[in-house]
Amino acid sequence: MEDVTDGRVLIGDRDVTDAAPKDRDIAMVFQNYALYPHMTVAENMGFALRIAGVPKEEIRSRVGEAARVLDLESFLDRRPKALSGGQRQRVAMGRAIVRKPQVFLMDEPLSNLDAKLRVQTRTQIAQLQARLGVTTVYVTHDQVEAMTMGDRVAVLKDGVLMQVGSPRELYDRPVNSFVAGFLGSPAMNLVSAPVVDGGVRLGELLHPVPRAAVAAAGGTVVLGVRPEDLEVGSHGLPLEVDVVEELGADAYVYGRARIGADEVPMTVRVDARRPPAKGELLHVRPDPARVHLFDAVGGHRLEG
């Protein structure tokens, strides 16, 4: 849909940069289903094959096979208006599957579904992709989808590639503060902290860091620590509890801590069986092995 301004687009060993769209062997799954309302499910799924001149028997066979994979066999004679949102999205996927393409492109296919159905369909797509073995480029704003479905995840900001790697690589070693704050739910705590002799000052706590690691960063760095990597104890950084979010297996505390002259918001994962009360004062300290440091100006990761 966009002209290539630089570089090449390869599918396998084939250069499709200047190929016509019909010759690229790519199937698209759109955000809004894009089904023909006057056609049945079977007709929607087989439409591209019919246009391509595929024999009727082969169309019927491919549509039937895709319907079995997607659990749509009992809906083949229905029209889209008689289907739920999740069923319509499966039909849109079936329409792509029957073409047996080299690549699937999926543009936020779950964003129109409610939360429960989104989780269910997410699992189905992951299982389907594993079964078909077809390379799939999946675009999403939902970082949970990216983390749970992606073999390799690319994080983009304003059209610029920030980092690409496995979900675990991006979670454990984000290359900059944007990636660090984007991946993870709740998000990583990112606070500005002064550099002092021996390390980085976090309230009354001193996180030891080799001077060489932060020498180029000036007097301030951004310290990042995930909610699950903050330990609650009898001493540490005082945190006043504003809200406790109980999720059954987990509980998250949202509160405020004083760092220097500033009051900064912080999130901590706590024991769900003994959550604190609103207004209570906790003392937290980061796991030293799980602290991330970033340049305060450029946001890039500081090693050390």
pLDDT digits (tens, 9 = 90+) for 256-273: 998 877 899 999 999 998
pLDDT for position 85: 86
Q: How many CA within 13 A on the CB side of residue 198?
A: 5
Highest CATH level, class, for 189-295? mainly beta
* Residue located via tokens 């062997």: 25
- What pLDDT was estimated at residue 293? 92
Residue of 121, 127, 128 lying closest to 142 (CA atoms): 121
Query: What is the per-residue pLDDT for 151?
Result: 94
- CATH number belonging to domain 10-151: 3.40.50.300
pLDDT in tens, 132-187: 899 999 999 998 899 999 999 999 999 999 999 999 999 999 999 999 999 998 99
Quick one: which H or E segment has residue 69?
helix 56-69
Distance CA(64)–CA(69), nearest Å, equals: 9
CATH 3.40.50.300 in the chain is located at 10-151
Displacement of CA 93 from its chain's centroid (Å): 20
In this predicted structure, what is the pLDDT of residue 17?
93
> Please, where in the chain does CATH 2.40.50.140 lie?
189-295
129's enclosing H/E stretch is: helix 115-132
The low-confidence residues of the chain, meaning pLDDT below 50, are none
Structure tokens at 203: 């309230």
